[in-house]
Amino acid sequence: MEQRLAAILAADMAGYSRLMEADESGTLARLRTHRIELVDPAIAKNKGRIIKTTGDGMLVEFQSVTDAVKCAVEIQQRMKRRNSDVPQERRIEFRIGINLGDIIFEDEDIFGDGVNIASRIEQLADVGGICVTAAVATQIADRLEIAMEDLGEKTLKNISRPVRLYRIGFDSPVLPEVEAKRSISKPSIVVLPFNNMSGDPEQEFFADGLTEDIITELSRHHELFVISRNSSFVYKNRAVNVREVAEKLDVQYLVEGSVRKIGDRVRVTVQLIDTANDAHIWADKYDRKLDDIFAIQDEVTAAISATLPGRVEAAQRDQLARAKPANMAAYECVLAAKVLHHRSTIADNERAQTLIGRAVALDPDYAHAHAWRACILGQAWVHNWCEDRNGVWNDIMAALDRALALDDNDADVHRILAAVNVNNNELTTARYHQERALALNPNYDLVVVQQGELLTWLGRPEEGIEWIRKAMQLNPHHPERFWSHLGKAHFAARQYGEAIEAFMHLSTMDSVQHAFAAACYGWLGDEIAAAAHLSKIRTLDPQFDLDSFIATLHFAQESDVQHVREGLLKAGIADL
C-alpha cells in the first residue's frame, strides 16, 4: 500500500444508458474511437496515467494539477468541436471532475477521500463541463489563463465536510489552439447575391436563400476561403464591377447567378469568374419544375457547391503548371501533390511525397496538408512502393493524428481516416469516420464515392452503386477511378455485364481491375475474354498470386470473398 498526493481526474459519459439503449454497437464504436483518437492521447500528452476504467468512465492520476486541468480542457474543447455537427440526441459528451488530495494506491487501484471527492464533483459538472475543488483552483490560478466561477460550498454524498467547488470556463482557449488563418495562396471566393429576374417577389426569397445555402456549403470546403454572407450581401441590387469587388474583398474568384421563373418552371444560371482577368471559368444552368421550391433550392445548391470547388481547383492547377515548385506556397504544394497522387504511379507518388512534405514544412499547422500527406503515404503503403512498411504506417498514423488535432471538422481528415481504417480492415472505425465526413460535407464527391465503396465492402453493393452514381452526378469531371469503384460494386451485386461496362470506361487498367473483369467473365462463362484479362495480369504483375490478391480485399462477409475467388477460378486463374 502506498499513499501520496496526486491530482485525480474523474470522467463520466453523460446519457450513457440512453445512448446504449438506442444504439448499443454504434455507441460503443464511437466511444472507442473517441478514446483512441482523442481522450487517451490527451492523457498521455499531459503525463497522465489511467488507473481505472468503467464502461462509461475512468479515473486518471496526474502528478501535476496543471497537467490535469490542461488535459480536461483539451478533451472538452475537442469533443465540443467534434459534436458541433452531431444531432443532440446522438452526442457523446463527458462530465469531468478534478481534485487534489491524498490517494491510497494498492494493487493497481486507488482509494481514499481524494478519489471519492473527484468522483462526486464530476457528477455536479455540467455536461461537457469541468468542475474542480478549491485545492485545484488555488494551484492553477497563477499558472493558467483560465476563467473560474466560484460555485460555493457543496455537500457531497458520503463526504463529512462541505467542499468548495469551481466551474472551469474554456470558451476562450486556455491551450494553444490553431487559429483559422488564410494563406495568401489559398483560393478566395465570394458568392454575390443571385439576381431575381422574374419580377416575382416570391422568387426574391428563393434567390437569397440559394445564395446563402451556396455560401454555407462552400464553407465546408476547408481548402477554400469563402467570404461571409454579410460582406457578400452588401452588393445586393447593385451594379457590380468585378475588379472593384475583387479589390475590396481581396478575392480571386467570384460567383454570380440569376433566378428566372418561367410559367411553372424555374431556371437558375450560375457562373464562376476569375477576377484577375474577368475570364469565365465555368457556367451552367439548371431548369427545374416549380413544385417544391425548397427541394429545388437544396438540389441546385448541392449541384453548384459540388461543382465549384473542382472548377476552382482546376483553375489553380492551370496556374500551377506555370509555377516553379520552389516558389509554391503550402496550399499550392498540396494542390500539385494531389494531381500527382491521382496519377497513381510510383514515380508520381514519390514526387507527391516531396511536395506534400514541403507543404507541411511551410505551414506545420495546415491540417489539410497533414491529411493529404497521410493519403499520399497511404497510396505508397497500399501498393507496396516503400521499403519500410511499418515505418510508413507509423508516419501515416502520425500525420492523421496531427491533422485531427489541428482540425477535427475537416471532411478530408475523416475521409482519409476512413480509407486508412478500411485498408487496415477496421470497418467499424471506418464507418464512424465516414459518417463524420458525410455529415461535415455531404456534397463532396470524394466522400460520397467512398461511401459507396465502403457499403460495397460491407456487403451492401446495391446501395453502394447508388452512392457512387451520385458522386458521378455531383462531379461530372470526376476522377477516372470512380468507374473502378462502380465496377467492383456491380460485381459484388452479381451484375457482371454492368461491372464490365464500368471497367471499360477506364483508359488503363491495373492488375486488380483486370482481376475483377476476369472474374466477371468467369461467372459469365466467357473463357476467351477471361483469358485476355488474365494475360494482362501476367504482363502487369508476373508475381500475381490468387491468395495474396484475396488477402488485399476488405469484404466483411466471407461469401463476398469466395465470390471473387470462384469467379477467378472459373476464369482459369489456376493456369496463370
Q: What CATH number did the domain enclosing 400 receive? A: 1.25.40
How far is residue 120's CA from residue 155's CA, in Å, rounded to a whole number? 10
Whether 239 and 257 map to the same domain: the answer is yes
Which CATH number goes with the domain that contains 110? Answer: 3.30.70.1230
Q: Are residues 135 and 57 in the same domain?
A: yes
What is the b/e burial string over 420-454, where b = at least 16 CB atoms within 10 angstroms of the residue's CB? bbbbeebbebbbbbbbbbbbbbbbbbbbbbbbbbb
In a domain, 146, yes or no: yes
Q: Same structural domain for residues 8 and 120?
A: yes
Instruction: Give yes or no: residues 291 and 367 share one domain.
Output: no
- HSE-up of 140 (CA within 13 Å, CB side)? 28
Amino acid at 474: L
Number of domains in the chain: 3
DSSP sequence for 111-165: ESHHHHHHHHHHHHSPTT-EEEEHHHHHHHTTTS--EEEEEEEE--TT-SS-EEE
C-alpha–C-alpha distance, residues 250 and 190, integer Å: 9
Is residue 449, in this structure, part of any structural domain at all?
no
The rounded distance, in Å, linking the Cα atoms of 290 and 311 is 28
DSSP string, 350-362: HHHHHHHHHHHHH
Residue 499 lies in a domain: no
Q: CB of 399 within 8 A of CB of 373?
A: yes
Rounded distance between C-alpha atoms, residue 322 and residue 319, angstroms: 6
CATH number at residue 305: 3.40.50.10610
148 and 23 inside one domain: yes
- Decide: residue 29, CB within 10 A, 0-12 exposed, 13-18 middle, 19+ buried: middle
Classify residue 489: in a domain, yes or no: no
Helix, strand, coil percentages in the chain from 3-state DSSP, rounded to 5: 55, 15, 25
pLDDT at 171: 58
Distance CA(483)–CA(475), nearest Å, equals 13
**Which are the contacts of 403, defined by CB distance < 8 A and separation ≥ 6?**
367, 368, 370, 371, 374, 410, 413, 416
- The residue out of 135, 169, 203 marking a domain boundary is 169
Question: Quick one: which of 295, 372, 391, 285 has its CA closest to 330?
Answer: 372
94 DSSP β-pair partners: 13
Domain extent for 96? 2-169
Task: Tell me: do 307 and 331 sit in the same domain.
Answer: no
Residues 46 and 80 in one domain: yes
Whether pTM exceeds 0.75: no
How many whole angstroms from its chain centre is CA 380?
21
Please enumerate in sequence order all residues whose Cβ is within 8 A of that of 183, keeping only pairs 6 or more positions apart, or say none: 329, 330, 331, 363, 366
Is 40 in a helix, a strand, or coil? helix
C-alpha span between 356 and 396 (Å, rounded): 13
Asked whether residue 207 falls in the same domain as residue 311, the answer is yes
Contact assessment for residue 262 and residue 199, using Cβ atoms and an 8 Å cutoff: no
Same-domain check for residues 371 and 225? no
CB of 279 within 8 A of CB of 312?
no
Domain boundary among 407, 435, 468: 407
Strands (DSSP E) contained in 208-345 are 225-226, 253-262, 265-274, 279-289
Closest CA to 167 of 197, 136, 195: 136
502 found inside a domain: no
Calculate ∠ Cα 65-70-72, nearest 5°. 95
19: cell is 445512448
How far does CA 403 lie from the centroid of its chain? 10
Say if CB 257 and CB 195 are below 8 A apart.
yes
Do 311 and 228 fall within a single domain?
yes
C-beta of residue 370 within 8 angstroms of C-beta of residue 402: yes
The reported pLDDT for the residue numbered 30 is: 81
Domain boundary among 407, 435, 470: 407
Q: Are residues 352 and 266 in the same domain?
A: no
pLDDT at 492: 98
Distances (CA, A) of 178 to 38, 436, 507: 16, 21, 42
Query: Is 432 part of a structural domain of the chain?
Result: no
The one-letter code for the residue type at 478 is H
- Which candidate, 566, 571, 573, 564, places its Cα nearest to that of 491? 564
Residue at 489: amino acid letter:
A
Tens-binned pLDDT, residue by residue, of the chain (576 aa): 677 778 999 999 998 888 988 888 878 888 888 888 789 888 988 889 898 888 788 999 988 888 999 999 999 988 888 887 677 888 899 999 999 887 887 766 777 888 889 999 999 999 999 999 998 988 887 778 788 899 999 888 878 788 899 999 875 443 333 333 333 356 788 999 999 888 777 677 778 878 887 887 777 776 677 887 777 888 888 888 888 888 888 888 899 999 887 777 888 898 888 888 888 877 888 888 877 666 676 777 777 776 677 667 666 666 555 444 444 577 778 878 887 887 788 999 999 999 999 989 988 888 888 999 999 999 999 888 999 999 999 999 899 889 888 877 788 888 988 998 898 899 988 998 899 888 888 878 889 999 999 999 999 999 999 999 988 887 777 888 999 999 999 999 999 999 999 999 999 999 999 999 999 999 999 999 999 999 999 999 999 999 999 999 999 999 999 999 999 999 999 876
Residue 12 within a domain: yes
Is 79 among the domain residues?
yes
Instruction: Answer yes or no: do 310 and 334 share one domain.
Output: no
